[in-house]
Amino acid sequence: MSTAQPLKKLVSCVILDLDGTLPSTDGVITNVLKVLLVKYGKQWDGREAQKIVGKTPVEGAAAIVKGYQLPCTTEEFTAEITPMFNDQWCNIKSHPGANRLIKHLNVHGVPMAVASNSPQASIESKISYQQGWKESFSVIIGGDEVKMGKPSPEIFLEAAKRLNVEPSSCLVIEDSVPGVTAGKAAGMEVVAVPSLPKQTHLYTSADEIINSLLDLQPEKWGLPQFQDWLESTLPLEPWFIGGPVIKGFGRGSKVLGIPTANLSAEGYSDVLSKHPSGVYFGWAGLSNRGVYKMVMNIGWNPYFNNSEKSIEPWLLHEFHADFYGEELRLVIVGYIRPEANFPSLESLVAKIHDDKKVAERALDLPLYSKYKDDPRLKTTL
């Protein structure tokens, strides 16, 4: 974004955590745990995720063995699950904004390191599936190369040493609480990108908490600013979703004066876990009607504190009827801002109207308007 930001502290290097920060390993880890736990007659309970995020593999395994009271030792469990993970690293996807960040820092010659609690071999394997990553890191350091993993600062101090810089010149980017603790203990600047939703209160020791890598502003740390924002929007690799409009909470038009169509979250668990909550925009195709400009929210609507992540597009056209059950198709072309909590209904409504203006204007730019004619917006009649 072009607005000047107060400088936090100058750094010269960036140390990145791997799992959950650059690639979203959570999906793969969850899938493997689900399969393995069934063999033990147990069922994966998502809440256990908190016990493994940011931990060393042994700590994670110990937490699962104990939490599910498995009739095996941590070592046996680790031996069983490790090959299952290894088979899955090829399926991990990079987080939105990860490639953009790595490319940006690389182009500007900012030295980068990866410091992960995972063993070196597994880091190498995970990174090898992501194009252009390996060459971009001057240092790659695994949990098996230090005495103590995060939350001990050791791994970050070792990374700084290998980068040949003072710890205070390093910016750490981390998704986990142990990682943030480790970074602060190392005397580094830390940006947290929490991978667990609604847990920001656990990350207060970080110097900044951001919702996703898309929201990182390197210039706050004296690093080169991203140049890809365009009229308050960030162009994204477009993605498509579609399905019948389902009933939501009935409060969009009634409480906010802003109707939002709801897409079933059930059908989109993959899409929802892949895309950070936030305000996006693009084009909407409604069966038998046409194609319209669209601005939408993905997230938990903190103002209403929803328990489920939802997709709520607002078609920027005067409709005077419900279209529940009708087929809605979306092409999402850009990002506007992270989802936020608002002190009042008026401020939330005002912000959503700002988003509308930003989206309407941006969608006239050739970069975005070209997707209006995408055949995927037209439903088969």
Catalytic machinery residues: 17, 19, 312
Under the criterion CB under 5 A, does residue 248 sit at the interface with Mg ion?
A: yes
Query: Distance of CA 263 to CAs 73, 80, 244, 268, 276, Å?
Result: 44, 39, 7, 8, 16
Cα–Cα dist 214/33, whole Å: 29
Residue 260 binds to Mg ion (criterion: CB under 5 A)? yes
Contact code string over 221-260 relative to ligand RBF, x by CB under 6 A:
---------------------------xx-xx---x---x
Q: Which does 67 bind (CB under 5 to 8 A by kind): Mg ion, ligand ADP, ligand RBF, none?
A: none
Binding at 247: pick from Mg ion, ligand ADP, ligand RBF, none (beta carbon under 5-8 Å per type) = ligand ADP
The answer to whether 241 touches 284, Cβ cutoff 8 Å, is no
Give the residue with the Cβ less far from ligand ADP, 202 or 246: 246
- 8 A C-beta contact, residue 176 and residue 17: yes
Closest residue by Cα to residue 296 from 320, 328, 261, 345: 261
Asked if 301 is part of the footprint of ligand ADP (rule: CB under 6 A), the reply reads: no
Among residues 222 and 338, whose Cβ is nearest to ligand RBF? Answer: 338
State the first-to-last Cα distance of the chain, in angstroms, to the nearest integer: 41
**Burial letters 172-188, b for 16+ CB under 10 A, else e:** bbbbbbbbbbbbbbbeb
Q: Is 248 in the site for ligand ADP (CB under 6 A)?
A: yes
**Token pair in block for residue 55:** 């931990």
Q: Does 190 bind ligand ADP (CB under 6 A)?
A: no
Closest among 269, 332, 334, 278 to 302, alpha carbons compared: 278
Which of ligand RBF, Mg ion, ligand ADP, none does residue 302 bind (CB under 5 to 8 Å by kind)?
Answer: ligand RBF
| In the complex, least distance from residue 313 CB atom to ligand ADP, rounded to whole angstroms | 6
Shortest distance, position 377 Cβ to ligand RBF, whole Å: 19
Q: Which lies closer to ligand ADP via its Cβ, residue 233 or residue 260?
A: 260
What is the C-alpha separation between 347 and 194, in angstroms, rounded? 25
| Binding positions for Mg ion, rule: CB under 5 A | 248, 252, 260
